């Protein structure tokens, strides 16, 4: 199983961050289905301040390209993504419209 780690920033507003956390306590079933059907077997998101850190463990069928294409074709995923932009902002150096940024592993024990 392969692991990917990604980061994203939230708008630095305590009320918005709390609302974002509430959405993630009740993620829509269609979103959960789109995640698991893409080959993602485990997905965790952590928060510190306004920075998010995601860990994805994927099987051999997963690809970022296929997940992206499936998400673009799924109206419910697009609705969720549009809603999440209210809370999210790109990391410094992100391209316009770019959300989660893949992180490079620099150490492993």
pLDDT in tens, 27-41: 999 999 999 999 999
- Per the domain annotation, does 85 fall within a domain? yes
The whole-number pLDDT of residue 97 equals 84
pLDDT in tens, 89-99: 989 988 888 89
| Domain enclosing residue 60, as ranges | 2-102
- Per the domain annotation, does 109 fall within a domain? no
CATH code for the domain in which residue 81 is found? 3.30.70.1090
Give 9's pLDDT tier (boundaries 50, 70, 90): very high
- Per the domain annotation, does 76 fall within a domain? yes
**pTM to 2 decimal places:** 0.91
- Per the domain annotation, does 89 fall within a domain? yes
Give the chain's radius of gyration (CA, Å): 14
- For 26-92, the DSSP string reads S--HHHHHHHHTTTEEEEEEEEETTEEEEEEEE-TT--HHHHHHHHHT-HHHHHHHHHHTTTEEPPT
Asked if residues 88 and 11 have their Cβ atoms less than 8 Å apart, the reply is yes
Q: How many domains does the chain have?
A: 1
- Per the domain annotation, does 64 fall within a domain? yes
């Amino acid at each position: 199983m392969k692991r990917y780690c990604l980061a994203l920033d939230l708008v630095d507003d305590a009320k918005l961050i709390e609302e974002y956390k509430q959405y993630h306590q009740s993620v829509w079933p269609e979103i959960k289905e789109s995640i698991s059907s893409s080959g993602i077997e485990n997905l965790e998101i952590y928060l510190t301040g306004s920075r998010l850190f995601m860990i994805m463990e994927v099987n051999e069928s997963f690809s970022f390209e296929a997940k992206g294409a499936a998400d673009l074709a799924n109206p419910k995923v697009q609705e969720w993504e549009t809603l999440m932009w209210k809370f999210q902002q790109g990391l410094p150096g992100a391209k316009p419209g770019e959300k989660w940024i893949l992180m490079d592993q620099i150490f492993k024990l």
